[in-house]
Amino acid sequence: METQMREIGEAAKRASYSLASLSTGVKNQALQVMAKALEDRVDMILDANKQDMEAGRAKGLSGALLDRLMLTRDRIKEMAEGLRELTGLADPVGEVIKMWSRPNKLKVGKMRVPLGVIGIIYEARPNVTVDATGLCLKAGNAVILRGGSEALHSNLALANVISTAAVSAGIPEGAIQLIPTIDREAANIMMKMNEYIDVLIPRGGSGLINAVTANATVPVLKTGVGNCHIYVEEDADLDMAQRIVINAKTQRPGVCNALETLLVHEKSAVEFLPSVAEALRDKGVELRGCPRTCEIVSDCLPAAVEDWGTEYLDLILAVKVVKDLEDAVNHIHTYGTKHSEAIITNSYQKASFFVQRVDAAAVFVNASTRFTDGHQFGFGAEIGISTQKLHARGPMGLEELTTTKFIIFGDGQVRS
Amino acid sequence: METQMREIGEAAKRASYSLASLSTGVKNQALQVMAKALEDRVDMILDANKQDMEAGRAKGLSGALLDRLMLTRDRIKEMAEGLRELTGLADPVGEVIKMWSRPNKLKVGKMRVPLGVIGIIYEARPNVTVDATGLCLKAGNAVILRGGSEALHSNLALANVISTAAVSAGIPEGAIQLIPTIDREAANIMMKMNEYIDVLIPRGGSGLINAVTANATVPVLKTGVGNCHIYVEEDADLDMAQRIVINAKTQRPGVCNALETLLVHEKSAVEFLPSVAEALRDKGVELRGCPRTCEIVSDCLPAAVEDWGTEYLDLILAVKVVKDLEDAVNHIHTYGTKHSEAIITNSYQKASFFVQRVDAAAVFVNASTRFTDGHQFGFGAEIGISTQKLHARGPMGLEELTTTKFIIFGDGQVRS
C-alpha cells in the first residue's frame, strides 16, 4: 500500500511541474474534452453507479445517502456543464500581484502559481470527483482523489473518463488520479504524504473534516459549520429585518450559511417578534426562545443552553432578546462558528462597530447571510467555504487554489 | 495543567477581540513603552538570565547554545530598538484590499484583520520572546509564548516586563502571555488548543518544526530548511556569476538562504569552475563535486549522493556539471527544498523558463539567494521564511500575521 501510494504521489508531483506552465488555452480545451467525454460515456457511468446503488441498498444505506450517491443523466449533464463553465473564468496562474523596486534596483514581484498537488478526501457524492477535479485543473494543480467507499465504482468510472479525456487533450499523465481502493489505510497514508501533497481538502460532514484535521500532517484547507446569527438593532427597518430573517432561515435551511439564531434588541422585541414569529410559523419554522422571547411570543418553546450552539440545518430557529449591540456581539463570539453574521440597522455607528468587532468569515449589514457563497460573491466557482483563518477565509474560488512565489530580477546584486 | 492552559487560552481569546480594533496609535505607543521598560529593567532581566546561564553551564550545554541563551546590555538594547522600529511600519489591520459591486447592488469587500491568537513555540533564544511579541502585537494579535526550558527565567522576566508595560499603555490583559512552566505536557496541550489558538509558529531548528507539524491540530505557519541552488547557464556573465556565488556561499554561510549546491552548464564548466573554485578556496570553502567537476577542479572531493540533499549551513559547497537548463531544473526539483533558487544567464528565454518552472518560495535571476529576507524585500520586519505553500510563502512580515474577512453592505437584499 505504501508503495502504491508513493507511486501515485510521485506521478502527481511530476505532473504538477508541467501543469504549472500549461497555457490557459490548453487547460480550457481539456475541460471541454472532459465535459464531452462525460456525456459520451454516460451509459458506462450509469452502469457503474448502479453497482454502487445496489450495494448501498443491500447495506441498508439511508434514503438521504442513497440520494447523494445516485447518478442520473441530468446529474451527469450538470457535471459536464460545470466543467464548461470553468472555461469562462479567469485563469489565476501567472498573475503578478505586485512588483516593486528596491533601493539596490532589485525588482521583487509576487506571482500567483498553482499549489501543486491537491488531495481531496470526500464522502458519498460522486459529483465531487468531477467538480473538484475541474477546479484544481483550471488552477493548474494535479489532484489525488479519495472518495467514499460506497461510491467506488462510480468514482472509478468518472475518474477514468475525465482523466483519459484530459490526457488526450494535452494534460500530463498523473494529473488526475483516484485512489482505487477502499482500504482505510490509503487515506491515512495520504494524510501524511507531505512530500507529495501540498494541501488536503476534506469535502463532507464535520466528522470527516475533524478526522482529517486531527490526523493530517499535510496542511488542510478546512470548511466548517455555520451557526449564523442575525442581530436586529433597535433602529432597524423592521420590514427589511423580517424579509431578511425569513430569507436567511427558510430559503434553504439545510446549508451552512442559513440563519440559526435571531438576536433582537430589547427595545425592538415587542414590536418585531410577534410579527416575525407569525411569518416564520407560516413557513413551518419552530421557534426556541429565551425567557423574554417566550413572554412576548405565545407558544414559543423555551430554548435550552445547547440551542445557542446548535447548527440546526433545519426549520428551527433559536431566538434571544439582548440588551444591546455589545451583548449581541458577545453572544456571537461565545456561540458563533465564525462563518456568517449579520446586523440589521440604520445606524452608521452601529454598522461600523459590528463590522469591526465581529470575528467571522463574512460580516453583513442589511443583507441575508445566504449570500456567503462563491457564486454570489462573483467568484464564478467555489470549492467550499473556509472557516479557518490561514490561507483562505470564506468562499474559496480558483484563487484560493493557488499560492505565490517571489520572483526577483537583478543585474548582479550581492548582499553586503 | 489542562485548566491552567484553558485559562491562558481564554484570556488570550478575550484580549484578541479588543486588540483587533485598537488604533495604530495605541499599539505604537505600547511598543514604545515596552521598549523603554526593557531598558529600565535591564538589571533585573540580566539577573534572571544569569540563573539560566548558570543552570545551563551546570547542565553542560554547548558553547553555541549558551551563546544563544546569553543576554547582554547590548542584546537587550537591540530588542528594545526592534520594538521601536515596528512603530515605523504600516499597520496592516483594517486595510480593505478590494471591494466590488454585485449586480444586486451588494457591496462585497475583503478587509485585512488580525489572525486572533498566535502561539509561538521556540527554543533557547530569549530575544524571540520580545521580537515575536512585537510583531504579533503590531498586527493586532494576542500571543501565547512557549519558550525553551533552558531560558525559562529569562523569558519570564522579559515577558513580565513587556506585558506589564503593554497593559499600562492600554493593551488588554491577556494579550501577551508566557506559559510559566517547563512541563512538556503544556506544549502538547497548546498544539491542540484549536478553540483558542488560531495559528502556531514554531521558531527554531528542524527538529522543533517537525515535532510541531506532526503533533499540532492547530494550523501551523512553518519555516523550513533551505537547500539553495545557483545555476550558471552557458551564456552567463561569468564574472557576475562568480561574484554572486561567492556572496551566496560565504557572506553568511549559517543561514537558510545561503547557497548549498552550484550547478554549472557543461559548456561553461571548463572556463568557470577553476576560477570560482580558487576564489571559494580562498574563502575557506570545501568543494564536493560530481565526477566531471573533479576532473576539472584539482583537489575537489567527490560528492556522495547525500551531498545533493544536504543543507550544510557551513563553508562547504556541492558542485555539479549539468547538461542543460532542463537538467538543472530537474536536479533542483529532486533535491531542493523549495526555498531560494537562482539562475545566472543573459538569455531572456532561459530566465523566463527558470522563473516559470522552478517551484520555490523565491526564484532569482542574476542575484544572490541571500536576498530572501523580509528586510531585503522591503517588509521592514520578518517573523520567518515560510517554505510551505498555504497562507504565506517566503519571507513573512506583518501582513502574513493577518487574515481577511469579507464585509458585505446591503440595503435589504435577500437571496432568491
Distance CA A309, CA A161 (A): 43
Q: In this predicted structure, what is the pLDDT of residue B289?
A: 98
Across the interface, whether the CB atoms of A415 and B20 are under 8 A apart is answered: no
Across the interface, whether the CB atoms of B406 and A219 are under 8 A apart is answered: no
Q: In this predicted structure, what is the pLDDT of residue A134?
A: 97
Which chain B residue's Cα is nearest to A337?
A: B195
Q: Is the dihedral of CA A32, A37, A43, A44 positive or negative?
A: negative
Distance CA B203, CA A286 (A): 51
* Class of residue B39 by CB neighbours under 10 A (exposed 0-12, middle 13-18, buried 19+): middle
Across the interface, whether the CB atoms of B359 and A116 are under 8 A apart is answered: yes
| pTM metric for this prediction | 0.91
Q: In this predicted structure, what is the pLDDT of residue B110?
A: 97
Please determine, for residue A124, whether its predicted confidence score (pLDDT) is greater than 90: no
Residues of chain B positioned with their CB less than 8 A from the CB of A362: 405-408
pLDDT in tens, A31-85: 999 999 999 999 999 999 999 999 999 999 999 899 999 999 999 999 999 999 9
Average pLDDT of the residues in A311-338:
96
Q: In this predicted structure, what is the pLDDT of residue A61?
A: 93
**What's the pLDDT band for A106 if we cut at 50, 70, 90?**
very high
Count of Cβ atoms closer than 10 Å to residue A85 Cβ = 15
CA angle A201, A205, A211 (to 5 degrees): 65
CA dihedral A165, A170, A173, A174 (to 10 degrees): -80
Percent of chain A with pLDDT over 70: 100
Which chain B residue's Cα is nearest to A192?
A: B214
Across the interface, whether the CB atoms of A410 and B366 are under 8 A apart is answered: yes
Distance CA A340, CA A364 (A): 8
What is the DSSP secondary structure assignment for residue B320, as one 8-state letter?
E
Q: In this predicted structure, what is the pLDDT of residue A381?
A: 85
Residues in chain B: 416
Angle formed by the axes of helices A73-86 and A42-59, to 10°?
120
Best CA proximity match to B114, nearest among B394, B400, B340, B411: B400
Count of Cβ atoms closer than 10 Å to residue A13 Cβ = 20
Q: Which CATH number does the domain A2-222+396-408 belong to among 1.10.287.70, 3.40.605.10, 3.40.640.10, 3.30.930.10?
A: 3.40.605.10
A335 touches A261 (CB < 8 A) = yes
When CB atoms are compared, the residue of B213, B246, B412 closest to A366 is: B412
Q: In this predicted structure, what is the pLDDT of residue A182?
A: 86
Across the interface, whether the CB atoms of B413 and A368 are under 8 A apart is answered: yes
When CB atoms are compared, the residue of B217, B219, B409 closest to A365 is: B409
Residues of chain B positioned with their CB less than 8 A from the CB of A198: 389-390
When CB atoms are compared, the residue of A17, A366, A372 closest to B333 is: A17
Please determine, for residue A291, whether its predicted confidence score (pLDDT) is greater than 90: yes
CATH class of B2-222+395-408: alpha beta
A253 touches A312 (CB < 8 A) = yes
Best CA proximity match to B400, nearest among B412, B391, B413: B391
Distance from CA of A104 to the nearest CA of B (A): 10
Q: In this predicted structure, what is the pLDDT of residue A299?
A: 86
Percent of chain A with pLDDT over 90: 92
**B69: helix, coil or strand?**
helix
**What's the pLDDT band for A204 if we cut at 50, 70, 90?**
confident
Distance from CA of A125 to the nearest CA of B (A): 25
DSSP states of B77-116: HHHHHHHHHHTTSPP-TT-EEEEEE-TT--EEEEEEEE-S
Residues in chain A: 416
Tell me which residues of chain B have a pLDDT lower than 70.
Answer: none
Enumerate the domain spans of chain B.
2-222+395-408, 228-375
**What is the ipTM for the molecules in this complex?**
0.92
A-B contacts (CB, under 8 Å): 216
Q: Can you say whether residue B389 is alpha, beta or left, with left for phi > 0 and alpha for psi between -120 and 50 degrees?
A: alpha
**What's the pLDDT band for A260 if we cut at 50, 70, 90?**
very high
Please determine, for residue A380, whether its predicted confidence score (pLDDT) is greater than 90: no
Please determine, for residue A403, whether its predicted confidence score (pLDDT) is greater than 90: yes
Distance CA A114, CA A326 (A): 42
Q: Which three cell numbers stand for residue B84?
A: 521601536
Count of Cβ atoms closer than 10 Å to residue A191 Cβ = 23
Please determine, for residue A206, whether its predicted confidence score (pLDDT) is greater than 90: no
Across the interface, whether the CB atoms of A217 and B214 are under 8 A apart is answered: yes
Distance CA A284, CA A301 (A): 14
CA distances, B163 to each of A178, A356, B31, B130, B149 (Å): 52, 25, 10, 10, 20
Count of Cβ atoms closer than 10 Å to residue B348 Cβ = 9
Residues of chain A positioned with their CB less than 8 A from the CB of B411: 240, 366-367
**A36: helix, coil or strand?**
helix
Task: Spell out where B241-377 has E strands.
Answer: 259-265, 286-289, 301-302, 316-322, 340-344, 362-367
Average pLDDT of the residues in A326-331:
97
**What CATH homologous superfamily does B228-375 map to?**
Aldehyde Dehydrogenase; Chain A, domain 2 (3.40.309.10)
- Provide Rg for chain A, Cα atoms: 24
Distance CA B55, CA A213 (A): 39
Best CA proximity match to A174, nearest among A116, A101, A249, A229: A116
Q: In this predicted structure, what is the pLDDT of residue B224?
A: 80
Please determine, for residue A317, whether its predicted confidence score (pLDDT) is greater than 90: yes
**What's the pLDDT band for A225 if we cut at 50, 70, 90?**
confident
Q: Can you say whether residue B379 is alpha, beta or left, with left for phi > 0 and alpha for psi between -120 and 50 degrees?
A: alpha
Q: Which three cell numbers stand for residue A257?
A: 450559511
Q: In this predicted structure, what is the pLDDT of residue A72?
A: 97
Count of Cβ atoms closer than 10 Å to residue B70 Cβ = 18
Across the interface, whether the CB atoms of A367 and B412 are under 8 A apart is answered: yes
Task: Spell out where B179-315 has E strands.
Answer: 199-203, 228-232, 259-265, 286-289, 301-302
Across the interface, whether the CB atoms of B408 and A102 are under 8 A apart is answered: no
Across the interface, whether the CB atoms of A377 and B237 are under 8 A apart is answered: no
Distance CA B26, CA B190 (A): 29
Distance CA A56, CA A51 (A): 8
When CB atoms are compared, the residue of A21, A111, A367 closest to B106 is: A367
Interface test with A, best of B188, B249, B415 (most A CBs within 10 A): B415
Distance from CA of B302 to the nearest CA of A (A): 28
Average pLDDT of the residues in A386-406:
95
